[in-house]
């Protein structure tokens, strides 16, 4: 009986889209609420990868490769972003160990 119910839940593209949207939302929320620059940075990566899920799901649904190629490029971009982001964050942390995003507010007004 239970097995039948489970079998009835065939994941459709929409499922993946919702999953992706949820991941994206988690990433966005994380960026808003966390103070550690490294975690904020990871949240951005999460958002990018959430979009990748959308691309792949849609590509499978449409049966064309546009979405899947997009994922490759996004991965490259994300990697480049890691390099740049970590570089900047480390150079700041070296100067001010333990600094959070909220501490960096000298420029304002």
Partner 1 sequence: MLAQDDFFLAPGIEWFHLGPVIALVSGALVLLVVGALTPRWPRGLYAYVTALTAAVAGGLAVFNWNDITDDGVSTLVGGALAFDTFAQMITITVCAATLLVALVTDDELRRAGKDGPEVYALFLIAATGAVVMGSANDLILLFLGLETLSLALYVLAASDRERPTSQEAGIKYFVLGGFASAFFLYGIALIYGGTQSTNIGEIIGSFQTSVLLDGKDTLVLAGIALLIVGLGFKVAAVPFHMWTPDVYQGAPTNVTAFMASVGKAGAFAAMLRVLVIALPFHRDDWRPAIWVLAVLSLVIGSVLAVVQTDVKRMLAYSSISHAGFILVGVEAAGHNAGELAPGDGMPSVLTYLLLYSVLTVGSFAVVSLVARNNGGDTSLDAFKGLAQRRPTIALALTVFLLAQAGVPLTSGFIAKWGVIQAAVEEESYAIAIIAMVAAVVAAFLYLRIMVSTWLETGAESTEREAVPFSTGVAVFSAAAFTLLIGVWPGWLLDAAESVTTYAK
Partner 2 sequence: MLDVIWLIPAFPLAGFLLILLFGRRLGEPKSGYLASAMVLASFVVSVGAYFDLLSMDSHERAHIETLFSWVPVSSLQIDMAFLADPLSITMCLFVTGIGFLIHLFAVGYMHGDPNFSKFFLYLNLFVLSMTILVLGENLLVTFLGWEGVGTCSYLLISFWHQRESAATAGKKAFVTNRVGDWGFMLAMFLGFEAVGSVSYHALNGAAEAGSLATSTATGIALLLFVGAVGKSAQLPLYIWLPDAMEGPTPVSALIHAATMVTAGVFLMTRMNPMLAAAAPEASTIIAVVGALTALFAATIAVAQTDIKKVLAYSTVSQLGYMFLAVGSGAFVAAIFHMVTHAFFKALMFLGSGSVIHGMHHEQDMRKMGALRKLMPITAATFIVGWLAIAGVPPFAGFWSKDEILLFALAKGGTWGPILYVVGLVTAVLTAFYMTRQVIMVFFGEAKWESHANAAEAPEGEDEMTHGAHGEFKPHESPPIMLFPLVVLAGLAAVGGLIQLPAFGFIPDGWQHKLEHWLEPVVEAGEAHIAGTSAYDNKELLALLAIACALIGIGVAVAIYAKKLVKPVEPQLLADGWKYDSGVSAFMGGPGRKAFEAIAWFDKNVVDGAVHGVAKLVGGAGGQIRKTQTGNVRNYAGIVGVGVVLLLAWFVIGRGVL
Nearer to partner 2, 5 or 105 (CB): 105
Q: How far apart, in Å, do the first and last CA atoms of the chain sit?
A: 64
What's the closest the beta carbon of residue 17 comes to partner 2, in angstroms?
14
Instruction: Report yes or no: 23 and 55 within 8 Å, Cβ to Cβ.
Output: no
Token reading at 79? 């990697």
Distance CA 42, CA 47 (A): 9
What's the closest the beta carbon of residue 109 comes to partner 2, in angstroms?
5
Q: Which listed option, partner 1, partner 2, none, makes contact with residue 25 (CB within 5 to 8 Å by class)?
A: none
Distance CA 53, CA 70 (A): 11
Interface with partner 1, residue 26, by CB under 8 A:
no
Query: Which of 5, 6, 9, 105 is the binder for partner 2 (CB under 8 A)?
Result: 105
Distance of CA 93 to the CA centre of its chain: 23
What's the closest the beta carbon of residue 27 comes to partner 1, in angstroms?
7
Interface with partner 1, residue 107, by CB under 8 A:
yes
């Amino acid at each position: 009986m239970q097995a039948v119910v489970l079998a009835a839940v065939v994941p459709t593209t929409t499922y993946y889209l919702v999953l992706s949207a949820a991941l994206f939302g988690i990433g966005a929320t994380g960026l808003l609420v966390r103070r550690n620059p490294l975690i904020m940075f990871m949240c951005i990566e999460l958002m990018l990868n959430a979009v990748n899920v959308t691309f792949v799901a849609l590509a499978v649904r449409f049966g064309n490769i546009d979405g899947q190629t997009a994922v490759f490029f996004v991965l490259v971009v994300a990697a480049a972003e890691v390099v740049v982001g970590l570089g900047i964050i480390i150079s700041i942390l070296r100067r001010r160990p333990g600094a959070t995003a909220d501490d960096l507010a000298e420029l304002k007004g």
